[in-house]
Amino acid sequence: MDQPKNKRYGMVIDLDKCTGCGACMVACMAENNIPFRDDDTDKLLSVSWMHVYRLSNGKPFPHAEECFLPRPCQHCEGEHGHSPCVSVCPATATDYDMHTGIVSQIYTRCFGCRYCMAACPYHVRQFNWWDPVWPEGMERALNPDVSVRMRGVVEKCSFCYSRYQTALNRAYLEGRRELSEEEYQTACTQACPAGAIVFGDLNNPAHRVHQIVKPDLAHGGRPRNPKVFRLLERLGTHPKVYYLTRRDWVRRAGDNEIQKT
């Protein structure tokens, strides 16, 4: 069988459709065994791979507008896989996979130096300050496809890599080497009741994510669709999570430096 072509899995989130309901966050928590604590109100200490931010246009009543921005790991490609976190990890606990474009996190390698957290411009990485504890009986709901993280390691969104592996295993059993678009979808994409999240292979022109973003793959996947933008584009991190909006102020909010000028 032919060697499968390299993929560049990415996501585009329609911010005009996102209602900020939080179904993506909860679906992610359930899929990826995210722990919870008695008090999770301090979001800087709370572990959540997907977080919905609230953006405001800063105008006074009644011209105030708000927008919700779900933020998974941006799976930065950087230059040839040198994403900010991957290049600093002393333990090789995080890696950029050239076959899928997914930035991995290997918990058992991580020794908790948190250098990657400092390097990540998107706050996607979170440190386990506490042991994960489930109330009695609730550990029955844990998903065996995703390992539970222990105290002292950093974790982040993996684009539901376990779902990729499951889909790939099934395909191999059926004698295929390529996955169809719907075979591999992240938990947040699947759950989104507004249909705001589209996930797929940016390299594949048949995939919706490619058709929406129209990525310029020669230039780090810069979007050719004028309504699509990436967070902090000027840093050159080349994220593979794109955002779609027709509102200018939201696009500007994607880069706090631009907003200042």
- Give the footprint of another protein on residues 27-56 (CB under 8 A): 27, 29-31, 33, 36-43, 46, 48, 52, 54, 56
Residue 196 or 202 having the CB closest to another protein: 196
| β-sheet bridge partners, residue 79 | 82
Q: Does 235 bind another protein (CB under 8 A)?
A: no
Q: Does 134 bind another protein (CB under 8 A)?
A: yes
Nearer to another protein, 135 or 175 (CB): 135
CB of 259 to another protein, least distance (A): 17
What is the smallest separation between the CB atom of 147 and another protein, expressed in angstroms? 8
Of residues 13, 85, 86, 110, which one binds another protein by CB under 8 A? 110
Does 141 participate in binding another protein (rule CB under 8 A)? Answer: yes
Q: How many chain residues interact with another protein (CB under 8 A)?
A: 73
Q: Mask 161-200, x = binds another protein (CB under 8 A)?
A: --------------------------x--xxxxxxx----
The nearer residue to another protein, 105 or 237, going by C-beta atoms, is 105
What long-range pairs does 128-137 form, CB within 8 A, spacing at least 24? 128/35, 128/47, 128/152, 128/153, 128/154, 128/155, 129/45, 130/35, 130/37, 132/33, 132/35, 133/35, 133/37, 134/35
Q: Is 211 in the site for another protein (CB under 8 A)?
A: no
Q: How far apart are CB 187 and another protein at their closest, in Å?
A: 8
Buried/exposed code over 136-156 (b: 16+ C-beta within 10 A; e: otherwise)? eeeeeeeeeebeebeeebbbb
Among residues 131, 206, 208, 217, which is the contact residue for another protein, using CB under 8 A? Answer: 131
Minimum CB distance to another protein smaller for 120 or for 191: 191
- The single residue among 82, 95, 107, 162 that binds another protein, judged by CB under 8 A, is 107
204 near another protein, rule: CB under 8 A: no
Question: What ranges in 57-201 are assigned the alpha helix state H?
Answer: 84-88, 115-119, 161-173, 187-191
Cβ-contact 151, 130 below 8 angstroms:
yes
> Please, what's the b/e burial string for 69-107 (b: 16 or more CB within 10 A of its CB; e: otherwise)?
bbbbbbbbbbeebebbbbeebeeebbbbbeebbbbbbee
Site for another protein in 242-261 (CB under 8 A): none
Selected from 136, 174, 248, 257, the binder of another protein by CB under 8 A is 136
Minimum gap (Å) between residue 144 Cβ and another protein: 4
| DSSP H helical ranges for the chain | 23-31, 84-88, 115-119, 161-173, 187-191, 208-213, 248-253, 256-260
Contacts of 135 (CB under 8 A, 6+ apart): none
